[in-house]
Amino acid sequence: MKKIIYADGQSLTIEDVVQVARYGAEVRLAESAKPGILESRAVVERLVEAGKPIYGINTGFGSLQNVGIKKDDLETLQRNLIVADAVGIGKAFDTEVARAIMLLRVNALAKGFSGIRIEVIETFVEMLNKGVTPQIREKGSVGSSGDLCPLAHMVLVPMGLGEAEYKGKIMDGKSAMEAAGIPLITLKAKEGLALINGTCAMMGNAVLTVYDAMVIEKSADIIASFTIDAMEGVIDAYDPRVHNARPQKGQIAVAANIRKMLEGSRLVTKQGEQRVQEAYSFRCTPQIHGGSRPAIAYVREVIEIEINSATDNPLVFPGENEAIISGGNFHGEPVAIAMDTLGIAVAEFASVSERRIERMVNPDLSRLPAFLVKNPGLDCGFMVPQYAAAALVSENKVLAHPASVDSIPTCANQEDHVSMGTIAARKAREIVKHVQSVLGIELLCAAQAADFRDNTKLGKGTKAAYKTIRKEVTFMESDRVIYPDMDKATELIASKALVNAVEKAVGILD
């Protein structure tokens, strides 16, 4: 039985979004949200009848805000907004990102500040549950006024326009809706603006990326520990006294994870036995990994708040002081800065991982066969996977340049500062994928190195990591097509299978 996720505008979590986006959890609009939705819609309808000029309801958009729209044209106004804004460029977002975008929009509308009808929200809920996924093009949003362009592509489909994926096939929006048995919608006053004026496209990328970054935190500690063990690393550097002397929480947590992973190891050494001290990529792993942790925690807090925020404009406030107010909650700056920060923080996991890979494959540094293969020269072994890791690390340096420091005015200078938040989120997501791949290469190298040592002497946690990768990838006796092995190792990280297997053996890591 599928898990049910309730969208109430108040309590949706990162993990809930992942359940819907990746694993097909069922979505329902919470009953508790419906009174507020109805009240805000009633406000819109009363004010439309009164003929009072209200932005985006009976006026033009952006710099055309002072152009009045006749009552008979209000539905046309909303339709025109969607078709005019659907100017996306490039390929479509992955299915999981598009599903996350839809859920986040449903949850934002469920807060009851958007003036939209319940049946419109329920249409998107039904699309999620029946697997109708709009083809939302990746590029074209500047992150203010929200993600107009990508969200317009989302809204085209229930209007019978655009394109959608349904049961593995791409088809026109109308055909997809008919095949799924979902009635098309006609947008009424305010509804088009309510659907596209918000941060949900950048957030669809951001939520999944933050979740993956939290998995990477533990995965990186696991894999680094595995490498330290396989390389007979000097364990003294992880002594709690060292880290308590500089009480950075992230550093302390990583050192504790490494000690837990290496418990019982008969491969690790004490300082002076083989080496007095290690290179920084080993000795400073707690400081490097730990340095990223507070940044990821900050980003998580921003994203958790944004998940349950009303980000469209104008906002509708029912009650005694009934009002529709134009503000700026659509501006993606909080998300943009957070996702730029996340990209930088996560990139460091790959940067130091590649250096540990180099130390394993370099015979001058490892005291192992060159490139971790029995017959170096005849075989290249893990020589070129290190190249691939280096390429990804180098590309991350370009991707980590912040998007949020840029702004280009739009809409005849009415929208004169924009966030570029969707670009920041897309870049961070790409960096995360690269980091997963680099860590996957390190995981393969650590397993190969452990087999050249004595894998029976591994620590409690590192042995669990070894068994997990060896269920998928065998020892490399001689050169073979290796990219499938790399893909399998990466998937163990991305799916959280590695973390789950290790935590089953040693308990929950910090």
Q: What is the mean pLDDT of residues 357-374?
A: 96
Predicted pLDDT of residue 2: 76
Domain parsing of the chain, residue ranges: 4-198, 206-314+327-506
Beta-strand pair 163-166/132-134? antiparallel
Predicted pLDDT of residue 60: 66
Predicted pLDDT of residue 335: 97
Predicted pLDDT of residue 65: 67
Predicted pLDDT of residue 63: 62
Query: Comparing 4-198 with 206-314+327-506, is the CATH topology the same?
Result: no
pLDDT band of residue 62 (cuts 50, 70, 90) is: low
Beta bridge partners of 165: 133, 170
Beta-strand pair 4-7/26-29? parallel
Q: Taking CA 424 as the corner, what is the angle to CA 347 and CA 316, rounded to the nearest 5 degrees?
A: 140
Tell me the per-residue pLDDT of 281-306, one tens digit each, with 9 for 90 and over: 999 999 999 999 999 999 999 999 99
Beta bridge partners of 243: none
pLDDT band of residue 56 (cuts 50, 70, 90) is: confident
DSSP string for 199-239: SHHHHHHHHHHHHHHHHHHHHHHHHHHHHHHHTT-BGGGG-
Buried b vs exposed e over 447-456: b needs ≥16 C-beta within 10 Å?
bbbbbbbebe
DSSP state, residue 197: S
94-103, 273-282, 320-329: range with lowest mean pLDDT: 320-329
Tell me the per-residue pLDDT of 399-433, one tens digit each, with 9 for 90 and over: 999 999 998 888 777 777 889 999 999 999 999 99
Predicted pLDDT of residue 414: 77
Q: What is the mean pLDDT of residues 432-440?
A: 98
Does the 4-198 domain belong in CATH 3.10.290.10?
no
Tell me the per-residue pLDDT of 22-52, one tens digit each, with 9 for 90 and over: 999 999 999 999 999 999 999 999 888 887 7
**CA distance linking residue 171 with residue 134, whole number of Å:** 10
Amino acid at 21: A
Amino acid at 492: L
Contacts 24+ apart (CB under 8 A), 139-142: 139/88, 139/89, 139/90, 140/87, 140/88, 140/89, 141/201, 141/202, 141/421, 141/422, 141/423, 142/408, 142/410, 142/415, 142/418, 142/419, 142/420, 142/422
Contact 238/437 with Cβ under 8 angstroms?
A: no
Instruction: List the catalytic residue out of 6, 23, 55, 238.
Output: 55
Query: Is residue 55 flagged as an active site residue?
Result: yes
Q: What is the mean pLDDT of residues 354-364?
A: 97
CATH superfamily of 206-314+327-506: Fumarase/aspartase (Central domain) (1.20.200.10)
